[in-house]
Amino acid sequence: MSLDAKRVRNLREKVCRANLELVAKGLVIETFGNVSGIDRELGVVAIKPSGVDYDDLEPSTIVLVDLEGKRVSGDLAPSSDTPTHARLYREFPEIGGVVHTHSRCATAWAQARRALPCLGTTHADYFRGTVPCTAVMSDAQIGRDYEEETAVQIVDAFRRLDYREMPAVLVACHGPFTWGKDATEAVYHAVMLEYAAELASLAVGINPRIGPAKRALVDRHYLRKHGSGAYYGQGRA
């Protein structure tokens, strides 16, 4: 087996595991949701096939596409959301994995068309501030390449935001996308986003007028886990 073949196999295995982890974490209902991962040197994206039962998922069913979303290997059609994933890889050059779910509370915020405010430290540990919600798409966009336009809306919401410090977005009337350094981390962020969204749903029920946590607290918690001054966990380089 060539070196490249081994790398492709590893990528498929990792993306397959990450898709199954999404199910194990309770973020998937029926066949909704998909995870992809990229090998940037090879220019290859591995992604879940469209509408396939998670029970039937194994590394060989994972589809390979290029950075334009065109299938380069695999018998099955890739996820119908592939153009969104591909565009995000092109726009956000440092990400290695992308996740899309219809998870309960994050989707509810997307349907409510409200950005998810950072109300506390659970949120701030992973997302440095308010998780943005995209604008509703115009009819013209919907009529064009709808899935790619979804990525356009996302990128538009990040004009003044650093995607490396905010690995999540809510697509209005649709649901969340998250990303990370690889597929595994993107799934982890999807889990934390869902939990932050659940806490925030409960909190606005308790106190509808609550505003976001103060900037200093958000930064303190975010930087406890991220960046050169991080001191959470068992040591970092």
Q: Is 193 in the site for a copy of itself (CB under 8 A)?
A: no
- Least Å distance between CB 89 and a copy of itself? 21
**Does the active-site annotation cover 232?**
yes
Q: Compute how many residues bind a copy of itself; rule: CB under 8 A.
A: 60
Amino acid, res. 22: L
Which three-class secondary structure state does DSSP give residue 198? Answer: helix
**Does the active-site annotation cover 53?**
no
Q: Beta-strand (E) ranges in 27-88?
A: 34-39, 44-47, 63-65, 71-73
Catalytic residue among 4, 156, 219, 232: 232
Query: What count of other Cβ atoms lies within 10 Å of the Cβ of residue 72?
Result: 13
Q: Is 195 in the site for a copy of itself (CB under 8 A)?
A: yes
Among positions 93, 139, 162, 237, the unique one binding a copy of itself when judged by CB under 8 A:
139
Per-residue mark of binding to a copy of itself, 97-116 (x: CB under 8 A): -----x-xx-xxxxxxxx--
- Least Å distance between CB 14 and a copy of itself? 19
Q: Beta-strand (E) ranges in the chain?
A: 34-39, 44-47, 63-65, 71-73, 97-100, 168-171, 175-180
Q: Given the complex with a copy of itself, which of 38 and 115 has the nearer CB atom? A: 115
Spatial CA neighbour of 26 closest among 110, 115, 101, 88: 101
Q: Annotated catalytic sites, by residue?
A: 125, 232
